[in-house]
Amino acid sequence: MHTGYKMKCDLSLDGRQKRECRPILTSCLTVALLFRKLWFMQEFSALDGAILIDKPAGPTSHDVVDVIRRKFGIKKVGHCGTLDPNATGLLIIVLGRGTKLSEKLMGDDKVYEGTMKFGVATSSYDADGEILETKPVPALTLDQLNTLAGEFIGDQMQMPPMVSAIKKNGVPLYKLARKGIEVEREPRLVHIYNFRFSNYAEPLGEFKLACTKGTYVRSVAHEMGQKIGCGAHLSTLRRSTSGKFDVADATPLDAVLKLTMAELEKKTIPFLKLSA
C-alpha cells in the first residue's frame, strides 16, 4: 500500500500533488507502526520477563537456568551475570522474551560482599582451587587493609583467572585449567567504585565492593595477597545488587522450585518494566 502511494507521487507531473502525497504516506506509516506496537505489546505473556533468585552455594548459574527450564517447561531461560558455584546471592533469571534483555541487564554495575582469607594462595583464586602456597600472615590492621583496598578504586586492567568462563580460541579457560594448561590472557578494563573492609580477624577480612560488569573479585583477592606478600584467596562471595535490583527482593532457589506456574507468573517482573 505504501509503495503504491510512493509510485503515484513519483509519476505525478505536478510538484504540488507530489508534496500533498507525502503527509498521506507519513500518516499511513505512523498508523502501521502504532498497530505493530499494539500487537507487540499484546503478544507478551506473564512469563516474558525475569525473576530474582537468591542462589545458594553449590550449583552453577547454568545449573539454575537448567533446573528452572525443566521444572516449569519454559523453552527460553537465561541468566544475567555468572555467579561462581560457591558464590551466593542475586542471580537475575530471564524468561521467554525477557532473554532479549539479557545483555542489557548483564551490563549493569554490581555490588558484592565477601570474605578474603590471607596467607593461602589457590589455583582458582578462591576456596575451590588447589592450594598452591601458604605463608605466615604479617600483622595487619583494618586501617591498613582499607588503605590497600583504596589502591584498587578506579579504572584498572585486570587479569582474569585461568578458572573462568572466558574463551581462548573458542575454548573456556576453565576447561584448559582442568587439563593443567595455562595460556596467556588479555587483561580487561574494569572499574571499581568502592572497596572497603568492615572487619578483620586474622586471617579473614570481610569486605564490600562495588564494580562494573566483568570484574573478577577473585582476582582482587589474589592481587591483595600479592601486595601484602602472603598470598590470599576469596573465601566467600555474595552478590547483593545488580543495577536496580537487590537480593533483598529475591527468592531462594528452593522456594522458587516449589512454586506453581501461577505463583511463578506473579513473581515475574514484566518485560516492559525490565526494558524501561
The span from the CA of 119 to the CA of 158, in Å, is: 22
Q: Is 2 helix (H, G, I), strand (E, B) or coil?
A: helix
In this structure, are strands 131-134 and 154-158 parallel, antiparallel, or unpaired?
Answer: unpaired
The span from the CA of 100 to the CA of 102, in Å, is: 6
Q: Which residues are CB-contacts of 203 (< 8 A; sequence separation ≥ 6)?
A: 117, 118, 119, 120, 137
- Known catalytic residue: 84? yes
Total number of residues shown for the chain = 276
Please identify which of the residues 63, 84, 108, 128 carries the catalytic annotation.
84
Chain centroid to Cα 215, Å, comes to 10
The span from the CA of 57 to the CA of 88, in Å, is: 5
Q: Which residues are CB-contacts of 202 (< 8 A; sequence separation ≥ 6)?
A: 118, 137, 140
Q: How many CA atoms lie within 13 A of 264 on its CB side?
A: 25
| Cell numbers standing for residue 58 | 553449590
The span from the CA of 107 to the CA of 46, in Å, is: 24
- C-alpha to C-alpha distances, 118 to 122, 132, 178, 210, 268, nearest whole angstrom: 11, 13, 24, 21, 41
The neighbour count for residue 118, using CB atoms within 10 Å, is 26
Q: Which residues are catalytic?
A: 84
